């Protein structure tokens, strides 16, 4: 799911996201003075409504840029009423309060809602189309093309690694080509049991909690610094450039466009004792053999 996908879906189906708004599309990537606006609508009062789209967490830097951008637009169009709506998957409360104080409306766009609208109108995400392009060479990520089910022994060797959506911008990190399929993750529990060769499930907590990726753990836990490419997606400086106990993982399947949501797991027979559904506090959670058999079917079909 790219930022462009979110823009396209809102532009084509505004009533799905802004009920009874009466928005009519004027254009996408519209130039207004020195600025380009992601989407311009007219509303039922014939006012211009400008939308800026940000994927993932709205960072402090992006909030400041939006404010500067809004001020520039108002300077360039002093005689016009300009309504600006800033959309992101996650908008921390303090940032929405700050922006709305200056007249910028904030709108959270849930991942589940975006996926729901895409499926309703048979919209294909751009990154999925990219994977389907024919190539003369071997595919880089065979796991994206064929089903891969990791074996599980009688003991635990599948682990859930939890991410806090207000601390780490998972969506943008997982879409960054400079990171690719390599990712490091904190180990704060079960440090003597998590091993190289085990399977990891990346779980995003919060309003739309669920499984967003499958990984292969390719190192034993060790005190490591994250590469700069990953480190930049921490939202606070206190979390950056800090050596911590981590494992290195290779992402074998990304589920950004089709997460296995917590709400679905709560309705799935056999998931009643899944550790992360019972105890949400922590970073690392074990998955039993029987639970992984059920999860594999949900993930791989």
Are the C-beta atoms of residues 255 and 143 closer than 8 Å to each other?
no
In this prediction, residue 135 carries a pLDDT of 47
pLDDT digits (tens, 9 = 90+) for 184-225: 999 999 999 999 999 999 999 988 999 999 999 999 999 999
Asked if the 3-126 domain carries CATH number 3.40.1350.10, the reply is yes
Phi first, then psi: give them for residue 156, nearest 5 degrees.
Answer: -75, 125
Tokens found for residue 215? 């990984």
In this prediction, residue 155 carries a pLDDT of 56
CATH class (in words) of the domain with range 142-300: alpha beta
In this prediction, residue 132 carries a pLDDT of 55
> Model confidence at 234, in pLDDT bands (50, 70, 90)?
very high
Of 80-84, 94-98, 165-169, 294-298, give the lowest mean pLDDT range.
80-84
In this prediction, residue 129 carries a pLDDT of 65
Strands 104-108 and 83-90 come out as parallel
In this prediction, residue 139 carries a pLDDT of 43
Where do the domains of the chain lie?
3-126, 142-300
Measured CA angle at 209 (ends 297, 108), to 5 deg:
130
In this prediction, residue 275 carries a pLDDT of 94
Kindly give, in sequence order, each residue whose CB lies less than 8 Å from that of residue 107, ignoring residues fewer than 6 positions away.
17, 18, 85, 86, 87, 88, 91
Mean pLDDT comparison of 18-32, 131-145, 245-259, highest-scoring range: 245-259
In this prediction, residue 254 carries a pLDDT of 93
DSSP sequence for 71-89: HHHHHHSTTS--EEEEEEE
> Model confidence at 279, in pLDDT bands (50, 70, 90)?
confident
Average pLDDT over the chain, rounded to whole?
87
Higher pLDDT, 2 or 137: 2
Give CA separation, 165 vs 16, 57, 64, 284, in Å: 24, 7, 20, 16
pLDDT digits (tens, 9 = 90+) for 130-159: 655 554 544 444 344 343 444 554 457 999
- Global confidence as pTM: 0.83
CA atoms within 13 A on the CB side of 147: 8
In this prediction, residue 274 carries a pLDDT of 95
In this prediction, residue 134 carries a pLDDT of 52
In this prediction, residue 130 carries a pLDDT of 62
Kindly give, in sequence order, each residue whose CB lies less than 8 Å from that of residue 149, ignoring residues fewer than 6 positions away.
296, 300
């Amino acid at each position: 799911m790219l930022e462009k996908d979110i823009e396209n879906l809102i532009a084509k189906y505004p009533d799905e996201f802004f009920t009874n708004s009466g928005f009519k599309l004027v254009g996408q990537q519209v130039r207004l003075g020195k600025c380009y606006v992601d989407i311009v609508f007219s509303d039922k009062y014939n006012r211009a409504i400008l939308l800026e789209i940000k994927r993932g967490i709205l960072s402090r830097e992006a909030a400041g840029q939006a404010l500067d951008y809004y001020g520039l637009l108002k300077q360039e169009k002093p005689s016009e009423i300009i309504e600006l709506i800033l959309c992101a998957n996650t908008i921390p409360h303090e940032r929405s309060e700050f922006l709305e104080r200056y007249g910028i409306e904030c709108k959270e766009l849930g991942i589940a809602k975006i996926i729901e609208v895409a499926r309703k109108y048979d919209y294909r995400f751009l990154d999925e189309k990219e994977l389907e392009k024919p190539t003369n060479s071997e595919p880089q990520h065979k796991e994206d093309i064929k089903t891969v089910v990791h074996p599980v022994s009688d003991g635990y060797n599948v682990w859930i690694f939890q991410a806090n959506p207000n601390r780490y911008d998972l969506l943008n990190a997982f879409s960054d080509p400079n990171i690719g399929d390599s990712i490091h993750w904190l180990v704060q529990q079960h440090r003597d049991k998590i091993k190289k060769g085990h399977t990891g499930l990346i779980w995003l907590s919060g309003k739309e909690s669920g499984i967003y990726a499958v990984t292969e753990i390719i190192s034993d836990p060790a005190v490591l610094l994250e590469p700069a490419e990953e480190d930049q997606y921490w939202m606070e400086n206190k979390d950056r450039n800090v050596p911590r106990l981590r494992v290195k993982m290779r992402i074998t399947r990304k589920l950004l466009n089709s997460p296995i949501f917590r709400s679905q797991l709560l309705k799935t027979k056999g998931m009643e004792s899944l550790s992360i559904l019972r105890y949400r506090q922590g970073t690392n959670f074990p998955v039993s053999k029987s639970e992984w058999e059920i999860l594999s079917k949900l993930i791989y079909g």
